[in-house]
């Protein structure tokens, strides 16, 4: 396998096969194992790529590569200077932005995830920053029945991604 290469956002968007509805993941995770697990889930759910900020996020470390279990060889990854600007750029391309937010009123399965979509997963413990949340077109939450108030960021992202896959196959 060739070593992975970080793309620009333009390169990532140009790599989406024509006629396919974009499914992207935007993540600013601090734990490299979470990042790797999210990369693995994104690839398994058919995402077209992952977008990482250049700062305040785990880089693609050996721990992230190991947790991705080979998926990094297949999932294109773009690095952007900042998430808020990248979200505006995606909107100009007709991509809708959905944020995973535990305080959202709508549940993730109630959202239309068949649209051209970028799923934003916030940092562990911190969630989505205010400006990022404001740039989202939709926010969705995951219902919790236990005493723990949230899921691991990569698990939450996986739930959204596989619901998108389910809806797109329906």
- Tens-place pLDDT, residues 49-80: 999 999 888 888 888 889 889 899 999 999 99
Distance CA(84)–CA(56), nearest Å, equals 13
pLDDT over 70 at 8, yes or no:
yes
Least confident range from 1-5, 43-47, 118-122: namely 1-5
Tens digits of per-residue pLDDT, 139-148?
A: 999 999 988 8
Q: Which domains occur in the chain, in start order? A: 9-14+29-169 (3.40.1280.10)
Tell me the two tokens of residue 90. Answer: 């995606």
In Å, how far are 76, 78, 133 from 3, measured between CA atoms? 12, 14, 33
Predicted confidence at residue 5, as pLDDT, reads 84
């Amino acid at each position: 396998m060739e070593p992975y290469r970080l793309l620009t956002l333009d390169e990532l968007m140009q790599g989406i096969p024509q006629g396919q509805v974009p499914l992207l993941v935007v993540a600013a995770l601090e734990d490299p194992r979470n990042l790797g697990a999210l990369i693995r889930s994104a690839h398994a759910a058919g995402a077209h790529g992952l977008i990482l900020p250049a700062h305040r996020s785990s880089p693609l470390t050996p721990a992230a590569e190991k947790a991705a279990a080979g998926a990094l060889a297949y999932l294109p990854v773009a690095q952007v200077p900042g998430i808020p600007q990248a979200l505006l750029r995606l909107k100009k391309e007709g991509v809708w932005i959905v944020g995973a937010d535990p305080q959202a009123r709508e549940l993730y399965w109630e959202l239309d995830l068949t649209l051209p979509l970028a799923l934003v997963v916030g940092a562990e413990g911190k969630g989505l920053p205010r400006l990022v949340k404001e740039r989202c077109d939709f926010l969705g939450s995951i219902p919790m029945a236990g005493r723990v108030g949230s899921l691991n960021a990569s698990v939450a992202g996986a739930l959204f991604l596989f619901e998108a896959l389910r809806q797109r196959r329906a």
